[in-house]
Amino acid sequence: MDKFIKSIQQFLSSRNATVALVILLFLSVSYLSYGLYLRMDLSSQGTLRLTKTTRQILNKLEEPLTIEAYFSEDMPEAALQTVKFMKDFVSEYAGISSKVRLRVLNPDKDEDAKMRADSLGIRPLQIGAVDKKKQEVASIYFSLALHYGGKTEIVPSLLESPSPEYDITARVIKLSQPERNRVGILVNPGMVRPDSNASSFEKVEYLRDTIETLYGAMEQIDTTVSEIPPEVKTILLVRPGVLTEIDRYKLDQFLMRGGRLIVAASGMAIDFQSGIASESTSDIVSFLEPYGIVLGKDIIYESNSNFLPYEQRVNAFQSISLPYPVWNISTSLNQKLEITKGLKALVLPYASTITLAGKQEGTTAEILASSSSGAWAQKSFAMIDPRRMPTQPPEGTTKQIHNQSVLLSGKFKSAFAASPDQNSAYPHLPEGEGKLLVTGTPYAFTDIGVQLSDGLNLNFVLSAVDSFNGMEELLALRKKSPPAPKRLNLSQATQDAITFFNFLIPLGLLAGFGIYHFSQRRQRMNQGENHEN
Amino acid sequence: MNWNTINVIYKREMGHYFNTPIGYIFLAIFILFAGFMLFFTPPRFWDSGNSMRSFFDLLPILYMFFIPAITMRLWAEEKKSGTIEFFFTLPFTETEAILGKFLSALTFLAIALSTTLPIAVTTILTGSPDLAQILGGYLGGLLSGAAYISLGLYLSWLVNDQINAFLLAFLASFFFFMLGYQPLLQFFGPWKDFLAFFSISWHVQSLYRGLIDTRDILYFILFPLLFLYLNRESIWRSR
């Protein structure tokens, strides 16, 4: 026994013990730091940075908030890093306020958790995974359930969320501040609808889903056959086609009683089959005119646009990149207004010009987005096929800045004020304080525009809705705007040249330094030899 | 610890890199591979939104070859040529010698990384990069490189031949890289999270996203310290 104790004592006083201790210390300190850490997201977007707004909201909670995280343990390689970041991010919520509790559940291994997830409507997410050298679809849980005051909100997926903070905190706001105004969308015949089975150019499913998450079910209003419900304070009009007099009257009166209209419409009708745009017969143009907005029957060609280059195959091995000037990015956004403040860009496909002409007294107009000075408006008839597009404006048309999105607010006068039979057929409010936001294209808010703008366009329209509904907290959360997409439209030859210079510059500098260094060294050696001689 | 002495060793080692063609050859290979990874490996730079992401993602793989190449001779060459005996008769401690060699290799790596700055400039001019992510990428590249260098330096001491030092460092780098590879980790059951935490590639990902996490910074401080310490212990034992 003594011998054993002695050998232990000897080991402990040896350098071997110190080495073992140092290794153990490294392992334990590294691993223990897992639970105690600080994190800073220095990226410009700050996706994983909790804002002051979230902290304030969580600290103001009156009742306990329980965040149930339904996370699978085995995640495919592709999702692993995102999962790691998101787990840390969700944990930060629990660290802010003692009222926030986090429960992590694994429905893959816990049958009760699986049943609970099912009852809450949480379904496993399907994501692509490579397993045993073959492509498979992995089924994983990575959702949240937020419980507050007997109510529950679900964050269906954290995996591909561009703004997880918004996704979580907005739902916390919804739970803790249930009273809010409703949002509606006009679904008169011929309009872009949220629930159509049409192409991504023709539906607003993303927009509908996002708004419904925050504002409850979106009211679908057909003004031809029904009235605008009084609880609806904001209405979206995406590519309104036919607006009969009764439709225009109801929308006018909605504006007069303080309603907010968000119009996304073009003065041109696009035929994607033939690649031609021609003057639209939509009644929205005449609807807007009494309020001082002229929606141009034209399409803006942005000569600097390179957002959506069009690849054209030259031969079997080579393709060239053509600019697509009708898909343009507006980076000239009004940074004074809450709606566009902090937003880096808007992607505006096939946009028409908006001119402020004869603005009503008592209203103020703000330009939210405009083109660059290199843009021109192609009037009445335009090619949208990149192979047949003009590269320069036609004679008599100059390149200039065009308004692409404007906001009118203040005391509007009814367009029906001069109606001869105003008291019988159209009893109306003669004036009222409303807001009218017009963007010169519907495709910025349809699914195609929302998807390709990487959240920028969605941010814009949601900021407008939040601003119109006095939801400053949501607005503050959405200030994490993605950077403006920029990709110079470079020819293949220019790309090759830049690639070549990326090799040449460092190799040239290296060779130059090497030659200089060796010649200096040789000189010093020669001097040394001469000195010795 | 005398910084003047460390500086003497540092300069001596930097001389080894730049007074012979070998350092230039390594740098040229690094430039060619880095450019090839970015411009010719899918997703190609011009097809992927002009982003440096693929460069940073493939950097650990480049390191697995490059860092063993720059660390292999640090001790092994001294031992093979017999200068090690003379080296330790000079008036400096093991710690100073290790630090001098470590810092010179780290500087060489920083120079190698700086040769990719034209790529960063191209990205900024032609794409819409997040500067924090580019800076985070370079910081991650330097910190993970420091970890691999400390490992390579230690392993270079354990063998007497540069080729063996290269192979050993390559295998060890590969091991620490693979620790974060999920398909492999799934065989370790409940230990997989623990093992993943010690992977270099696991820790560097946060920095590539512009996230500064104290766990990663701590890891990148402790990892080189551990291997520099083990190197010192090994030298002490052999003397």
**Is the backbone peptide bond immediately before A309 cis, with ω within 30 degrees of 0?**
no
Asked if B35 lies within 8 A of A502 by C-beta distance, the reply is yes
Distance from CA of A458 to the nearest CA of B (A): 19
Helix-strand-coil percent breakdown of chain A, rounded to 5?
A: 35, 25, 40
Residue A285 CA to residue A303 CA, distance in Å, equals 26
What pLDDT score was predicted for residue A513? 92
Domain hosting B141: range is: 3-238
What pLDDT score was predicted for residue B173? 92
CA distances from A220 to A229, A457, A473, B19 (A): 10, 21, 26, 77
What pLDDT score was predicted for residue A318? 63
What pLDDT score was predicted for residue A486? 64
Q: Kind of pairing, strands A134-140 and A151-155?
A: unpaired
What pLDDT score was predicted for residue A119? 92
Chain A environment of B209 (Cβ under 8 Å): 41, 43, 48, 85
Quote the tokens at residue B45.
Answer: 């730079």
In angstroms, the first-to-last Cα distance of chain A is 76
Asked if A85 lies within 8 A of B211 by C-beta distance, the reply is yes
Residue A56 CA to residue A38 CA, distance in Å, equals 19
B205: exposed, middle or buried (Cβ count in 10 Å: 0-12, 13-18, 19+)? buried
Residue B25: pLDDT over 90: yes
Chain A environment of B236 (Cβ under 8 Å): 15
Q: Comparing A263-272, B89-98, B150-159, B227-236, which segment has the lowest mean pLDDT?
A: B89-98
Q: Which residue has the tokens 């936001």?
A: A437
Reference A221, options A260, A191, A178, A255; nearest CA is: A191
The mean of the pLDDT values for chain B is: 88
Asked if B230 lies within 8 A of A19 by C-beta distance, the reply is yes
Interval B88-99 mean pLDDT: 86
Residue A293 CA to residue A357 CA, distance in Å, equals 6
Classify domain A52-155 at the CATH class level. Answer: alpha beta
Element (H, E) at A219: strand A219-221
What pLDDT score was predicted for residue A131? 52
Using the 8-state DSSP alphabet, how is residue A181 labeled? -
Q: How many domains does chain B fold into?
A: 1
Residue A495 sits at the chain B interface (C-beta within 8 Å): yes
Residue A159 sits at the chain B interface (C-beta within 8 Å): no
Residue B188: pLDDT over 60: yes
Q: Which residues partner with A219 through β-bridges?
A: A184
Using the 8-state DSSP alphabet, how is residue B211 labeled? E
Using the 8-state DSSP alphabet, how is residue B30 labeled? H
Element (H, E) at A153: strand A151-155
CA distances from A107 to A68, A74, A113 (A): 11, 11, 5
Percent of chain B with pLDDT over 90: 46
CA distances from A280 to A143, A284, A290, A325, A371 (A): 44, 10, 18, 20, 21
pLDDT digits (tens, 9 = 90+) for B123-182: 988 887 888 889 999 999 999 999 999 999 999 999 988 999 999 999 999 988 888 776
B105 alpha carbon, distance to own chain's centre: 8
What pLDDT score was predicted for residue A418? 66
Q: Are B123 and B51 in contact (CB under 8 A)?
A: yes
* CATH code for residues A181-477: 3.40.50
Q: Domains of chain A: which residue ranges? A: 52-155, 181-477
Q: Are A228 and A221 in contact (CB under 8 A)?
A: yes
Reference A289, options A243, A240, A358, A234; nearest CA is: A358
Quote the tokens at residue A349.
Answer: 């496909």
Question: Taking chain A (533 residues) in consecutive chunks of 10 residues, what is each chunk's mean pLDDT?
Answer: 74 76 85 79 79 89 92 78 84 88 90 91 79 66 92 87 85 81 85 75 86 84 89 90 88 92 92 86 89 92 70 64 79 89 88 88 91 88 79 83 94 78 61 90 91 86 89 77 64 85 92 91 82 69
Interval B228-235 mean pLDDT: 91
Distance from CA of B166 to the nearest CA of A (A): 24
Longest CA pairwise span in chain B (Å) = 57
CA distances from B230 to A14, A20, A235, A353 (A): 15, 10, 69, 70
Q: Are B144 and B63 in contact (CB under 8 A)?
A: yes
Using the 8-state DSSP alphabet, how is residue B198 labeled? T
List A residues 21-40 in contact with B (Cβ-Cβ < 8 A).
Answer: 22-23, 26-27, 29-31, 33-34, 37-40
